[in-house]
Structure 1
Amino acid sequence: MFRPVPVPELPPSTALADLAMTRDDHAWLAGTTGVFTSRPSTPLVLRWTGADWTEETLPDLPTAASLAGISAAAPDDVWAVGNTAGHPLVLHYDGTRWHTVTTPRIPWAKAVAAITPDDVHVVGTGADTLHWDGTTWTRTTVLTSARETLQTITACGPDDVWAGGSGLTGAGPATYEYPVLVHWDGTTWTDLHGPRLDHGHIAALAADGPHDVWLAHARHADGLQIHHYDGDRWHPVPPPTDEDRLSLHGVAARWTWGVRATRHTFETRPAYHHWTGQEWTEHPLPDDLARTSASHVGLATDGTTTWAYLKTAAGVHVLRHTTA
């Protein structure tokens, strides 16, 4: 079962976005405070100290800002990305403090994959990616259409990175969205890899190695569809079933998360499912959280330790599960 761990009291205007971890029991949770208020929004990062979660001191920013993604290559090499004043916000933690990093401009940084200190990829709204080689940032136009954009990324290694998003085609009532999936081989990005997908967009990517990549494909009519890459080809994976209305929000390596709504109610209760290799099994939560309406649900895992987060009317909750 997931066990709750201490979290600092955060304002009700907090929105949670993403969670990153390393295999030596370090973890970071990114989000934004001041959402939908009269105050400027500000980035938020919480760090797991081994005993509790504490709020990090971030650089002062002159304008409103938000965070959308976070990734950690090591305890002293953490990257968080988002948006401020219409341009990308990139923050870096060096083990001592957080710094604002200047990059080439893309409309909005949505996700980051930190592989090593000299190998970091950032994707965001638009057709371009950013790559840090330890010395210089390089902006590369990856997508072929101005109506295509990326929003999620995952890395198996320096020569094995996946990024996904969507594109639009047609005009007026005939406009429809289609998924976009590209792969980095260490030298170039190509769109030659991926499952055969119909309308919709790539909502999430996650990997635990080159033979274990997970993809969430969102279609408006069908919800989130899951695919798995075994190093050779992509396979569809049936989503979890539930007697209530289950809405999946994301996928990690062998995990999904989302919310369920019981019939005749607008309450959305958190739901986390783990893939056994044959089927999905729901992972239990403490009774008080299992019965509580929640939002901003998310999860990250390294195969041994799994962190989950959610937000209820009572505040932000972070839970931990370990198989060791």
Structure 2
Amino acid sequence: MSGLALAGGAGQAWARTASPAASRAGERAALAEWGPVPSPGSEAGAHLRKVAALGPKAAWAVGEEARPAAGQRGRPLAMRWDGAAWAKSDTSTLKFSGGLLSVAAAAPDAVWAVGSAADGSGRLVRWNGTTWRPVDFPGSGSADTQLWAVATGPGREVWVTGRQAGAVRLLHWNGKRWKWLAPLPVAEPTAASLVSVTVGPGGAVWASGSQNTGEGTWGGLVARWDGAWTVLPAVGSIRSGISEVLPVADDDVWAVGAAYGVGGPPGKPPGAVLARWDGAAWTYVEDHIGPGALLGITADDAGQPAWICGWEFWDQKRSAYLQWDGSAWQLVRGPAGDAAPTPYMYSVARVPGTSSYLSVGRTGASENPPSTAYSELTTGA
């Protein structure tokens, strides 16, 4: 189920867009362009799952490499951006098989990442300015404790989504100690996940993912923590997941993801989900991407929507982005070429102190060999 929050789709989107021509109708002039940037050194069977940036010469991306085949695990992958290129950093100090799922940066010496070991246990690690180190937390090392996503807030606070003691929860660092917070109030905690987390402008913590909705189906899940949980109405259609949310305000939240819907031909692709919360209800927004998925969303320097990264079934030789023009989303294509034959971008982030944005993912349609880590950067505005 949690995988669908990263690559889901919607039956209604499949019906709406039945050919390449249909999706082209929504394409408008690009406001910016994307180009590939060097991201060398990953061993095949690699991807970058999440990117976080502190400034023009300080960004980090994490994922996994050396996955030998489908269903098998590799080892943690981490890279650092210096303003011109990515350089692979040593993760041998982490000493576990598996991968890193999420990264957040509070300061150059306080970069946090979470991941999953081969036995399913959650792992919490920190970049201290020179190296990655494992971090103990309540329940660390237990196969019953999972970690999915991490975010930082004011005062170097850290928020992590995960499952502990049979419940979906937030793990919180207040600068002195780690503490698991109250369980998320969902009917089936073992069938829910929160694959993203972010701190909103008002200090509330927003998380998203998916949860079981009965009879073998699941739906998009968005929840807010402000000292207690508020679970918003389900978003997306049947068999949907929400990859990430962007809270502009408590009554203005964007959600991106995908849903598979019901039935259809074998190999039917997912369809993108793009919705906006106004404090009372979700409104579904035309996304100009046909069958595919929306995977990450980021704001500009004013906290307003900027970019969404995605994947489109009809054109798999280029990455797909949506750029906010102030009133609507416009489709922008990534570069085509040998650097990434079939790119798949998981995450996008603004680079503070610049007008640039970074995205990360993989070079191929699968996480298995020959895919390697891949990144793109805006080249114009």
TM-score (norm 2): 0.71
Q: What is the alpha-carbon distance in structure 1 between the residues aligned to residue 339 and residue 293 of structure 2?
A: 16
2:120 is the counterpart of 1:110 = no
Number of aligned residue pairs:
313
Residue type of the alignment partner of 1:308: S
Q: How far apart, in 2, do the equivalents of 1:322 and 1:293 lie? A: 20
Paired residue for 1:188?
Answer: 228
* Structure possessing the higher relative contact order (Cα contacts under 8 Å, 6 or more residues apart): 2
Map of 1:256 onto structure 2: 308
For each residue in 1:161-213, what CA deviation from the matched residue of structure 2 results, as whole angstroms up to 9, or x when unmatched?
1112222243xxx332133322111x22232x457655444422233643663
Q: Quick check: 1:238 aligned with 2:238?
A: no
Aligned-pair distance for 1:69?
0.9
Equivalent position to 2:245, from 169, 183, 206: 206
Match of 1:70 among 103, 110, 119: 103
Question: What secondary structure is seen at the aligned counterpart in 2 of 1:214?
Answer: strand
Question: After superposition, what is the alpha-carbon deviation per residue over 1:137-170, rounded to whole angstroms, capped at 9, x for unaligned?
Answer: 1112223333333222111257311112222243
Superposition deviation, residue 307 in structure 1: 0.6
Relative to structure 1, the CA distance from residue 117 to residue 90 in structure 2 (aligned partners, 3 Å threshold; closer, same or farther) is farther
Residues in 1 aligned to 2:129 and 2:237: alpha-carbon distance in whole angstroms:
43
- The separation in 1 between residues aligned to 2:46 and 2:241, in whole angstroms, is 26
- Cα shift readout 1:242-288 (whole Å, capped 9, x = no counterpart): 5xx5412313133222223348xxx5532112121333223243342
Following superposition of structure 1 onto structure 2, how do residues 299-318 of structure 1 map, counting pairs within 5 Å? Answer: 299-301=348-350, 304-312=355-363, 315-318=372-375
Give identity over the alignment, percent: 25
* Aligned residue type for 1:206: V
Compute the displacement of 1:312 (Å).
2.4
Sort the Cα spacing of 1:308 and 1:73 in 2 relative to 1 into closer, same or farther, 3 A: same
Q: CA deviation at 1:95?
A: 2.3
Distance in 1 (CA, whole Å) between partners of 2:260 and 2:57 is 37
Unmatched segments (≥5 aa) in structure 1: none
C-alpha distance in 1 between matches for 2:73 and 2:288: 41
Question: Distance in 2 between the 1:291 and 1:44 partners?
Answer: 18
Unaligned runs of 5+ in 2: 1-32, 262-269, 299-304, 365-370
Cα deviation for residue 118 of structure 1 reads 4.0
Counterpart amino acid of residue 285 in structure 2: P
Equivalents in 2 of 1:288, 1:268: separation in Å? 8
Q: Is the 8 A contact 1:227 1:234 kept in 2?
A: no
Give, as a single letter, the amino acid of the residue that structure 1 aligns with 2:49: A
Aligned to 1:143: 185
Determine the C-alpha separation between the residues in 2 that align with 1:281 and 1:59.
42
1:29 is matched with which residue?
Answer: 61
Whole-angstrom CA distance in 2 between matches of 1:217 and 1:287:
24
Query: Structure 2: how far apart are the matches of 1:194 and 1:37?
Result: 38
2:169 corresponds to? 128
Contact residue 205 and residue 213 of structure 1 kept, 8 A: no
2:272 match: 224
Q: How high is the TM-score relative to the length of structure 1?
A: 0.83
Q: Report the secondary structure of 2:337's partner residue.
A: helix
